Amino acid sequence: MTDIHKREVDTLSGVETTGHEWDGLKELNNPLPKWWLYIFYASIVWAIGYWVAYPSWPLVSSYTAGLLGNSQRDDAMAALEAGRAARAEIGTKLIDASLTDITGTPALLDFAMANGRAAFGDNCAACHGSGGTGFVGFPNLQDDSWIWGGTLDDIHTTLKYGIRSGHPDTRSGEMPAYGRDGLLEKDQITQVANFVASRNGLETEAGVDLAAGETIYQENCAACHGEDLKGQREVGAPNLLATNFLFGKSLAAIKAQINNPRAGVMPAWEGRLDPATVKSLAVYVHSFGGGE
Amino acid sequence: MRVEPDAAVGGNEPEEWFASAKKIYPMATHGTFRRIKWAILFVTLGIYYFLPFIRWDRGPNAPDQAVLIDLEGRRAYFFFIEIWPQEVYYLTGLLIVAALTLFLMNAVAGRIWCGYLCPQTVWTDLFLWVESKIEGDRRDRIALDNAPMSLSKLCKRVAKHTSWLMIAWWTGGAWVLYFSDAPTLVYELATFQAPWAAYLWIGILTTTTYLLAGFMREQVCIYMCPWPRIQAALTDEKALNVTYRWDRGEPRGPLKRNKELADQGLPAGDCIDCAQCFHVCPTGVDIRNGLQLDCIQCGLCIDACDNVMTKVGKPTGLIGYDTDENIQRRLDGKDPIYEIVRPRTVIYAVLIALVGAIMLYALLSRDFSGISAVHDRNPIFVVQNDGSIRNGYTVRLMNKRNFERSFLVNIEGLPTGTRIEAIGIDHYFEGRPYVVVGPDQTREIRVLVYSPTGAQMPSSTPITFRLTDTVMGEVTTTKGFFKAP
């Protein structure tokens, strides 16, 4: 080791060495620039101030809250509240306006569409799909087949009270279980199912008496689905000549439905969503284009 | 393996091996090029600092600032031109023209951009002027730097840095005025009501101006700027550069000695080795070593040398804008030539004119309305109960005029019997939606298109959306597709 008090200057670079030497290589003493060090020291001071001012140390069941009482959760809640307040004014306008007023006023329509799009994604897309095209058992909101009606008011009512939701004003329709409850014989179900299928241009089973099927239809089904098969919205009886069938458009699906009908449930959104959002949803779903 | 000390040392001299940047103390000078530099400084900084205050009446619905980049309203205004975000490609054109202009300048006279127009040069020049007014010229400044701290030194230092910071602050202040109504923003800044972003940007530009023009100066040109490297590859021997005419100057020597040599018929140059040329140089270059990367071609050494030559009674122009080619020609006994017009400069000029013409044409022929249509992704199409097929589109209409206009939206390319419906639109003219768009605004509508019942549609049909102004008849179109099973 070189004597610590003796400064050794490297001849090549003119820089003082640290006195460390490895295999003949000497380490030059090039200290960090002063400005760099001062920023480093300032950072340390800053960090100490930060510990004191802001939440920093985790404790066993809590944490040090800091002198400023800062909380990101509170900030987020305040931001949410501010957002709500900002929307409150136009939200009130939305509640006051009739559904047709909303579609006729560009400013309200823009807001309702944006609000409806967001609410649809959060609340409706899980069943009806993000594009509103539905799945088997969950109605397609894009086409023009409506079981309970597709006007703005119809959609609004469905949204508000739901379907078989348990709400006192809910829409509710019940189809008898012709097979399970023994109301029709198995042959009769085959005949009536083939009749409905034939009217929809689906392939029918060979040797089935379609005329008998029609008779069975008129005696048992026409009361709700209509003599012309076009359904009846007052009782939620679907149009049996629609492009899409809720539970599948095939002979097997028709048979299954007559035999042991399924009935979907849609929740009532009144009380779950605020009235402005329900209205926005009605406008948004109507704008899909299948609305009447 | 052990390296023997002798083998490791090698033969390099320390100063070649490493040298930290030396502080440069440019001396003040006067002359033609100094005057040109002052004139350019006044004009460019004058434009920069005061342009935002020029008013321009655009009618009731638009800001009345001549040059304004309205980030919040997504508009840029340049006198009579209004640029929408979709038209940012004009910026591309401007950048191409700027690059080509730089190349043309370079082909004509080397790095004159660096010497006269570059912001780094202009602000450094201004800062140097302030420095010399407070601390004195080169010799005084060197003495001051070496002097121990005293009250007078402290006062000068404080005065200098305060002045620098004021200029830097004003530079940042002028910058933010381009992004907001200038008089309003000045008032808001003064009363501490301006948006935080304004203060932030003033802070950033104050800091960068102060550091770059006050401290880094020539180091920006030598170490940070890419242009000297690119420039060196773009120049040729016919470009005018600040040149030491060594054929006339060498061998250099003191005035008296060289006179004696000349009297004896021995070779003697005009350069009296007075060092004025590199004392005035803002980048510390000795131009007598020839053209070099550090030289920004500002011409101050020409002024300094000319002043000295006049004093010693010799012709001026020992240093001047000249070409490498001419030195060789003079040595060969030929007359110097100056070829400003040559293929390289002509090509650059033609390209600049071409791009400029294209931009001008695009600007003059641009539409004042616009349409864009986005096809629904989910679902791509919907089959209706009557067998017709429906496609949905989000259509955005643009009105770039500052008054309300009404448009008809039509779709071409589909069989007759096609029906168009627009959500929220009550008025139709011959089956086409009639849409009103407010002044200088866009409006988004949802358009549903139904194919005729029973029509056999291919899986994809190209269609055209046509937007027609109902009053002026201006037509804009956009392409789209109609999808079917």
For chain A of 292 residues, list the mean pLDDT of each consecutive stretch of 10: 66 82 87 93 96 91 88 93 87 89 88 93 94 91 91 94 93 91 92 94 90 93 92 92 90 94 93 92 91 80
Percent of chain B with pLDDT over 70: 96
For the residues B193-208, what does the mean pLDDT come to? Answer: 93
**Which of the four pLDDT bands, split at 50, 70 and 90, describes residue B307?**
very high
Residue A11 in contact with partner chain B when CB distance is under 8 A: yes
Task: Give residue A3's pLDDT.
Answer: 52
* Cβ pair A143:B8 closer than 8 A: no
d(CA B290, CA B249): 12
What pLDDT score was predicted for residue B52? 94
**What confidence category does residue B21 fall into, taking pLDDT thresholds of 50, 70 and 90?**
confident
The torsion angles phi and psi of B48, rounded to 5 degrees, stand at -60, -45
Q: Which residue of B has its CA nearest to A242?
A: B385
User: Whole-angstrom Cα distance, residue B358 to residue B369?
Assistant: 20
pLDDT of residue A12: 79
Sign of the C-alpha dihedral computed for residues B243, B244, B248 and B250 taken in this order: negative
Of A62-66, A211-215, B7-11, B178-182, the range with the lowest mean pLDDT is B7-11
B15, B20, B384, best to mutate vs chain A, most A CBs in 10 Å: B384
The fraction of chain B above a pLDDT of 90, given in percent, is 62
Query: In A, residues 236-265, which contact B (CB 8 Å cutoff)?
Result: 239, 241-243
Which chain A residues are closer than 8 Å to B378 by Cβ?
129-131, 133
Cβ <8 Å between B383 and A243 = yes
> A13 contacts in B (CB within 8 Å)?
14, 17-18
Q: How far is CA A140 from CA A150, B68, B111, B370, in A?
A: 12, 50, 69, 34
- Specify the pLDDT at position A213: 93
Nearest CA in chain B to A105: B424
Angle, alpha carbons B86-B92-B94 (nearest 5°):
115
Task: Compute CA distances B440 → A27, B366, B409, whole Å.
Answer: 68, 15, 19
Q: What is the pLDDT of residue B3?
A: 41
* Per-residue model confidence (pLDDT) at position B16: 56
- What is the identity of the amino acid at A198? S
d(CA B209, CA A235): 77
pLDDT of residue B144: 93
Q: With an 8 Å Cβ cutoff, are B2 and A13 in contact?
A: no
Query: Is B379 an 8 Å CB contact of chain A?
Result: yes
Poorest-pLDDT segment among A166-180, A209-223, B260-274, B406-420 = B260-274
The pLDDT value recorded for residue B2 is: 42
pLDDT at B292 over 60: yes
Q: Does B384 sit within 8 Å of A143, measured CB to CB?
A: yes
Q: With an 8 Å Cβ cutoff, are B378 and A241 in contact?
A: no
* CA dist., res. B399 & res. B369, Å (int): 5
Structure tokens at B440: 């200088």
Residues of B in contact with A288 (CB under 8 A): 392
SS3 B303: helix
Residues 391-450 of B with CB under 8 A from A: 392, 421, 423-424, 426, 443-444, 446, 448
Select from A109, A132, A242 the Cβ nearest to the Cβ of B385: A242
- Distance of alpha carbon B445 from alpha carbon B200, whole angstroms: 39
One-letter amino acid for residue B313 of the chain: G
Answer whether B382 sits within 8 Å of A104, measured CB to CB: no
Strands B419-422 and B241-244: unpaired
Q: Describe the crossing of helices B343-364 and B89-109 by its angle, rounded to 10 degrees.
A: 160
> Per-residue pLDDT averaged across B34-43, rounded?
96
pLDDT in tens, B40-91: 999 999 999 999 999 998 877 788 899 999 988 888 999 888 888 888 888 9
Q: Please, which pLDDT band fits residue B9 given cuts at 50, 70 and 90?
A: very low
Q: How far is A290 from chain B (nearest CA, A)?
A: 8
Radius of gyration of chain A, Cα coordinates, nearest whole angstrom: 36
pLDDT of residue B8: 42
**For position A4, what pLDDT does the model report?**
56
pLDDT at B15 over 80: no
- Residue B336: is the preceding peptide bond cis (ω within 30°)? no
The answer to whether ipTM exceeds 0.90 is no
Domains of chain A, with CATH numbers? 3-53 (no CATH), 76-169+266-286 (1.10.760.10), 186-259 (1.10.760.10)
What 8-state DSSP symbol labels residue B3?
A: P
Phi and psi angles of residue B482, each rounded to the nearest 5 degrees, phi first: -115, 120
A162 in Cβ contact with A268 (< 8 Å):
yes
Question: Is B19 in the A-facing interface, judged by CB distances under 8 Å?
Answer: no
Residues whose CB falls within 8 Å of the CB of residue B438, separated by 6 or more in sequence, listed in order? B399, B404
pLDDT score recorded for residue B423: 86
* Nearest chain B residue to A23, by CA: B2
User: Token pair for residue B367?
Assistant: 């539409």
The interface residues of chain A toward chain B in range 193-232, judged by CB-CB distance below 8 A, are none
Q: Residues near B392 by Cβ (< 8 Å), separated by ≥ 6?
A: A288, A289, B375, B376, B382, B446, B447, B448, B449
Q: Which of B8, B379, B390 sits opposite A133 (nearest CB)?
A: B379
CB contact under 8 Å between B384 and A241, yes or no, is no
pLDDT tens-digit readout, B338-358: 888 999 999 999 999 999 999
pLDDT bracket for residue B163 (50, 70, 90)? very high
Cis peptide preceding A31, ω within 30 of 0: no
Question: Does an H or E element contain A15, and which?
Answer: none
Using an 8 Å Cβ cutoff, are B434 and B427 in contact? yes
The pLDDT value recorded for residue B277 is 92
Coarse DSSP helix, strand, coil percentages of chain B, rounded to the nearest 5 percent: 45, 20, 35
Kindly state whether B186 is in contact with chain A, defined as any CB-CB distance less than 8 angstroms.
no
Q: Do B245 and B318 contact (CB within 8 A), yes or no?
A: yes
What is the predicted pLDDT for the residue at B339? 87
Query: Which of the residues B211, B385, B421, B446 would you substitute to probe the A interface, choosing the one with the greatest number of A C-beta atoms within 10 Å?
Result: B385
**Residue A162 dihedral angles phi and psi, to the nearest 5°:** 80, -175
What amino acid is encoded at A158 in this protein?
T
Mean pLDDT in chain B?
Answer: 89
Q: What is the pLDDT of residue B261?
A: 87
